[in-house]
Amino acid sequence: MHRILVARALYPETLARLRQHFEVDYNGDDIVFSPRELSQRLQGKAGALTTGSERIDASVLDAHPQLRVVANMAVGYNNLDIAAFDARGVLATNTPDVLTETTADFGFALMMATARRMAESEHFLRAGQWTKWRYDMFAGSDVHGATLGILGMGRIGQAIARRGALGFGMPVIYHNRSRLPADQEGPIGARYVDKATLLREADHLVLVLPYSAGSHHAIGAAELAQMKPTATLTNIARGGIVDDAALARALSERRISAAGLDVFEGEPAVNPALLDLPNVVLTPHIASATERTRRAMADLAADNLIAALAGSRPPTPVNPGVLPLAGV
């Protein structure tokens, strides 16, 4: 029986299924391992079920040549150094598709909460400050009919675009590494633009691109300066895509109107400058967090491990070029 590490707490039902196939070392205490602890726990393991919190790079792979598969319970995999995986023939898998619509719901909700000042007004009410109606109280900006800008037009970006175009009558503009085929742009009337046009024209800009060295600080002071002063920015992608310090400055000087952030540079730490601002809605990286979707992600990560370590093609490999796995 292969030995695997389940690096974080997991649904008991998924764990029980893994235990039918593997000898499982389970981090039931849900400790966020230091790199050293992670390396210790990977001793002798053929597979690992990880989350975005565990970083697996060349040094980890070199220390554990018996490790064949890492199943990441997330669609993003910037915590895995895929070039190092490829070079060593180690398989990585992720959990796409099962979270697309749930994550798009949240991205749209966060954008709406940001535009309509929901968090700020709720704090005001809870603080007992609501004593009378006033004509301009918490007047925000409209979502319906406003221009929706999307940076990163993958599955989740397209699902957000659909919500905006079909549900809220929003003209959609987007920028992406590559332009969508016409039959995907058509139904949502999405217009491909360069990044400068996206920044300049979007009323509500939503970030849904993967994190990489190339997308680090894709939105910094220079980009924020190009946005409309009335615009909102929503980040459900990854911390590090936005320069959080530059964003805090832009928000405090009202160079853009508001932001909604589900992800942060260095999370779970949050830049203190953001915490003091009224015009930002902050959530703790929960865009895919519904009961059904998180279970589906756990199950898919388990399916990937079970298939790969049985020598079959896993459902959602990140680097299928390493298949078939030598030595499994």
Pick between residue 61 and residue 208 the one whose CB is nearest to ligand GLV.
208
Backbone phi, then psi, for 10, in 5-degree steps?
-150, 160
Hey, CA dihedral for 58, 63, 68, 69, is it positive or negative? negative
One of 64, 204, 267, 294 is an active-site residue; which one? Answer: 267
- For ligand GLV, the closer CB: 143 or 287: 287
Which three-class secondary structure state does DSSP give residue 242?
strand
- CB proximity list for 81: less than 8 A, separation 6 or greater: 56, 57, 58, 61
Instruction: Choose between 286 and 328: whose C-beta lies nearer to ligand GLV.
Output: 286
Sequence-separated (6 or more) residues with CB below 8 Å from residue 174: 149, 150, 151, 153, 157, 161, 180, 190, 191, 192, 193, 198
* Residue 96 CB, nearest approach to ligand GLV (Å): 9
Is 175 one of the annotated active-site residues of the chain?
Answer: no
Residue 208 or 258: the one with the smaller Cβ distance to ligand GLV is 208
Active-site entry in 204, 238, 265, 294: 238
**Under 8 Å between Cβ of 271 and 277:** no
CB of 73 to ligand GLV, least distance (A): 8
Q: How far is the CB of 261 from ligand GLV (least distance, A)?
A: 13
- Which residues of the shown chain bind ligand GLV in the complex (CB under 6 A)? 52, 74-76, 99, 288
| CA separation for the pair 152, 206 (Å, rounded) | 9
**Sequence-ordered list of residues with C-beta below 8 angstroms from that of 240, at least 6 positions apart, any chain:** 211, 215, 216, 217, 265
State yes or no: is 117 an active-site residue. Answer: no
Of 96 and 171, which has the nearer Cβ to ligand GLV? 96
Smallest separation, CB 306 to ligand GLV (Å): 20
Residue 299, Cα to own-chain centre: how many angstroms? 19
Q: What values do phi and psi take at 56, rounded to 5?
A: -125, 110
Sequence-ordered list of residues with C-beta below 8 angstroms from that of 266, at least 6 positions apart, any chain = 239
In single-letter form, the type of residue at position 61 comes to: L
Residue 267 is among the residues annotated as catalytic for this protein: yes
Q: Least distance (Å) from ligand GLV to the CB of residue 50? A: 12
Q: Pairing between strand 148-151 and 204-207? A: parallel
Complex with ligand GLV: residue 33 or 106, whichever CB lies closer: 106
Burial of 104 (0-12, 13-18, 19+ CB in 10 A): buried
We find the least distance from the C-beta atom of residue 75 to ligand GLV, in angstroms, to be 4
Nearer to ligand GLV, 76 or 220 (CB): 76
Which residue among the candidates 285, 292, 294, 295 is catalytic per the annotation? 285
Beta carbon of residue 155, minimum distance to ligand GLV (angstroms, whole number) = 11
Type of residue at 140: G
Contact 325, 40 (CB under 8 A): no
Q: Which residue reads 């070392």 in tokens?
A: 25
What amino acid positions are annotated as catalytic residues? 238, 267, 285
